[in-house]
Amino acid sequence: MIALVRIALRRPYTFVVLALLILIVGPLAVLRTPVDIFPDIRIPVVAVIWQYTGLPPDQMAGRMTTQFQRALTTTVNDIEHIEANSYNTLSITKVFFQPNVDIRIANTQITAPFTGVVVKKMAEVGESVAPIPPGVNISTASGAIVALADLDTLEVEADVAEANVARLHSDQPAEVAVEAFPDRRFRAVLRQVIPTADRTRATVQVKVTILDKDPGLKPEMNAKVNFLGRPRGAGETSASPPLPSTVTVPAESVVQRDGRTVVFEVDRGRARERDIVSDASVDGKVIVREGLRGGETLVARPPATMKDGDAVRVRG
């Protein structure tokens, strides 16, 4: 200690410079020293565990893991890849997201089951929601966030007297009138007759699909349905001509070619391309307004390479 004092007295400027360096470098070293010696690791991964008692690994993979992976690919954005392992009664799925994805947002993403318009907001910011169990009314459940409506496929639910149900048939044409537009009529078609009756009212509920799309039509509007009669058979007479029947084709037979909606008719062993004007799709069938008379034999699921004149064969 005495020796250090003697050196400082002999070389005062050196100690002054050292003191200044310590004064300057010290705070810089403190500011630049990381709090944690480990780097900031950002791995955007979410692990999901499914447990089902009694299932072996192969059944866990088929019933739980595979189905969950398919759902993720269609409902969650920014997925880089998925890794999954199935064990006895257990399934572990790791979802790897793209770099810089906010896990908080990815972990709370909710995807609509169909494309539609939000007609009602059922939850506010800060509220807690939970998955809705089966059998619970979605419109009143606390887990519902919004109410969606597909305005491209509007339907009317109507009650028909039991005495008149026998006169209805599938794809029967109808007219719909709404109170908001009393002078207008909208073309429609019967989609379904509910297979149960209301005993107290002696009615059966039916569902009618509206074919004429109109932005003025809104969900929950009051409407009346007028079912049009069947086309009259041979020997029947009427003051007015019979109404044309509705032509429907399987949705799998309708394809797009250069922006056109077409089907391929089987004509003497050859596929003939037919342009059609289609309407709404009802229970897997497309309603055809123009282009077909009814009764034609069509190619089911025509491949993208099929063209007019290709040879085809009718099975069965």
Average pLDDT, the chain: 80
pLDDT at 240: 38
Residue 65, in any domain of the structure: yes
Q: What DSSP string runs through 228-282?
A: PPPPP-TT---SSPPPPPPEEEEGGG-EEETTEEEEEEEETTEEEEEE-EEEEEE
Residue 146, in any domain of the structure: no
Q: List the CATH number of the domain containing 203.
A: 2.40.30.170
Range among 36-45, 191-200, 224-233 with highest mean pLDDT value:
191-200
Residue 144, in any domain of the structure: no
pLDDT at 207: 93
| 98 Ramachandran zone, left/alpha/beta (phi>0; psi -120 to 50) | beta
Q: Which residue has the higher pLDDT, 240 or 61?
A: 61
Residue 58, in any domain of the structure: yes
Same domain, 249 and 313: yes
Residue 235, in any domain of the structure: no
Q: What is the pLDDT of residues 243-254, one digit of tens each?
A: 445 688 888 899
> Could you tell me the pLDDT band of residue 239, with boundaries at 50, 70 and 90?
very low
Give the dihedral sign, CA 178/153/165/172: positive
Mean of pLDDT values over 1-9:
71
Number of domains the chain is built from: 4
Q: Would the pLDDT of 79 be above 70?
A: yes
**What is residue 15's three-state secondary structure?**
helix
Q: What is the pLDDT of residues 122-139, one digit of tens each?
A: 888 878 776 655 445 555
Mean of pLDDT values over 62-80:
82
Least confident range of 15-29, 104-118, 174-188, 220-234: 220-234
Mean of pLDDT values over 147-176:
86
Residue 37, in any domain of the structure: no
> Could you tell me the pLDDT band of residue 273, with boundaries at 50, 70 and 90?
very high
Nearest to 61 by CA among 90, 100, 35, 19: 90
Alpha-carbon span 308 to 296, nearest angstrom: 16
Residues ≥6 apart with Cβ < 8 Å to 54 = 89
Q: Which residue has the higher pLDDT, 104 or 159?
A: 159
What is the percent of the chain where pLDDT is above 70?
Answer: 84
Q: Would the pLDDT of 218 be above 80?
A: yes
CB distance 61 to 15 below 8 Å: no
The torsion angles phi and psi of 241, rounded to 5 degrees, stand at -65, 155
pLDDT at 265: 92
Q: Which residue has the higher pLDDT, 39 or 94?
A: 94
The torsion angles phi and psi of 68, rounded to 5 degrees, stand at -65, -40
Alpha-carbon span 45 to 114, nearest angstrom: 27
Alpha-carbon span 196 to 204, nearest angstrom: 7
Residue 193, in any domain of the structure: yes
pLDDT at 134: 47
Strands in the chain per DSSP E:
45-51, 79-87, 90-97, 117-121, 146-149, 155-161, 173-178, 181-198, 203-210, 223-227, 247-250, 255-257, 260-267, 270-275, 277-282, 285-290
Token output for 280: 């709404």
Q: Which residue has the higher pLDDT, 42 or 72?
A: 72
How many other C-beta atoms can be found within 10 angstroms of the C-beta atom of residue 193? 16
Q: In terms of residue numbers, what domain contains 28?
A: 2-32
pLDDT at 247: 80
pLDDT at 206: 92
Q: List the CATH number of the domain containing 82.
A: 3.30.70.1430
